[in-house]
Amino acid sequence: MGRTVILLHSLPDGTSHFDWLIEREPGDSGAPAAAGRQADEHGALTFRLMVRPDDPAATSFAGTRLPDHRTQYFDYEGSVAGRGEVRRVAAGEARIERYSTDELVISVLFGESRRGWRGIRVVTLPDRSDERWIFRLDSGWVSDILH
């Protein structure tokens, strides 16, 4: 099981969003990096979100794929070099069940909450600088490991 964390990222302009980081485990070589980025085999898949995936009321949400983040962000809180501040709002365990350039299926455990999410890439700009994803709750993908 890898780690997962949700960071509240407060920007200098006063806006904020959530960064969802999902740790790549050794052997997750099939999990590609964000478009045009180099994959850090042991790094963190990262999505910018407006909805927390650990929210019990959440059944779907949109996200933007960001470049892979360093694993130090699983434990870091504080200033981010001129890009605002991050604060951890949730931490848990995750298992990537399936990942390709167009789909991510993940089992997550935040506290006592076990959930399966299926993400589909829906938009990529022609210069591949922006990937938009839609995630839907998919309890059929909650890994047996989480039970």
Summarised one tens digit per residue, pLDDT across range 99-145 is: 998 999 999 999 988 999 999 999 877 766 678 999 999 877 665 54
**Cβ neighbours for 23, distance < 8 A, ≥ 6 positions apart:** 2, 3, 4, 42, 43, 44, 71, 74, 94
HSE of 52, CA atoms in CB hemisphere, 13 A: 18
Average confidence (pLDDT) over 62-85: 93
Average pLDDT, the chain: 86
Which uninterrupted H or E stretch holds 16?
strand 16-23
Asked if 17 and 50 touch (Cβ cutoff 8 Å), the reply is yes
Does the pLDDT value for residue 24 go beyond 60? yes
